[in-house]
Amino acid sequence: METVRKRMPAGERENVLIEKAIEVLASSNYRSATTSKIASEAGVSEPVIYQHFDSKKDLFLAVLERIRTDILEGWTCATDGVENPKTALRILGAYHYRFIKENKAAEKILFQAISEVDDPDIQASLRRHFAAFADFLSEFVRRGQDAGIMDPGIDDVMAGWIVLSFGIGTGSMSLFGFEEEIEQERLLDAYEVILSALDKKDQ
């Protein structure tokens, strides 16, 4: 354990602690996950965690920040260079399908955080994260309205939240085991209904 601690730079060690915390949280929950278990998985002693994080909650908030960053970076990469905003939203729908199949740990941890929403710090973190997700999506609606392909009468902010709610809902379905109901074609067909509602209506 001492060897790992001496050889690993502080920034890299913090990154490992976050990654191991994600693994431990995904296999248990926020309440039952312990810093000793996370430290053990990371190959360090428990006091090392407190060299980087003030508390288990502080580490949990760092985990949520990592998930937010990873999601937004994934969305940005997936839509980079896509000029048509509706095409970009379609790409994000396909990206979301892959995400909920391949990243159940992130989905589970976000739901854990929601169950801890009475904690002011966790609530503030979730507000920032979900607002960032919704704003990312709303931007494509605004661009579609500016391009004349989406209904200018639609509230772009609420449209972003509605698209996001579809992702939250289907993510929960995946966690609950409704795999047949969210088979790719069915999920994307349902998503297309939402996107169609954004289209500019004929006068």
Residue 183 is given by DSSP the state -
- 41 to 18, 54, 110, 177: CA distances (angstroms): 11, 19, 21, 28
Q: Do 88 and 183 fall into the same domain? A: yes
Mean pLDDT of 31-53: 93
Mean pLDDT of 98-103: 92
Helix axis angle for 56-79 and 85-102, nearest 10°, is 140
Read off the pTM: 0.89
CATH number of domain containing 12: 1.10.10.60
Number of C-alpha atoms within 13 angstroms, CB side, residue 73? 6
Tokens standing for residue 53? 């994080």
Q: Are 106 and 71 in contact (CB under 8 A)?
A: yes
In the structure, what pLDDT confidence band is assigned to residue 118 with cuts at 50, 70 and 90?
very high
What is the pLDDT at residue 201? 83
What is the pLDDT at residue 193? 97
What is the pLDDT at residue 202? 72
What is the pLDDT at residue 95? 96
- Which structural domain, as residue segments, surrounds residue 108? 65-196
In the structure, what pLDDT confidence band is assigned to residue 7 with cuts at 50, 70 and 90?
low
On the 0-12 / 13-18 / 19+ scale of CB atoms within 10 A, 118 is exposed
Give domain status of residue 106, yes or no.
Answer: yes
Number of domains in the chain: 2
Percent of the chain with pLDDT over 90: 88
What is the pLDDT at residue 12? 83
Give domain status of residue 58, yes or no.
Answer: no
Give domain status of residue 201, yes or no.
Answer: no
Query: Which among 146, 144, 178 has a CA at the least distance from the CA of 163?
Result: 144
Place of tokens 């772009």: 156
Give domain status of residue 2, yes or no.
Answer: yes
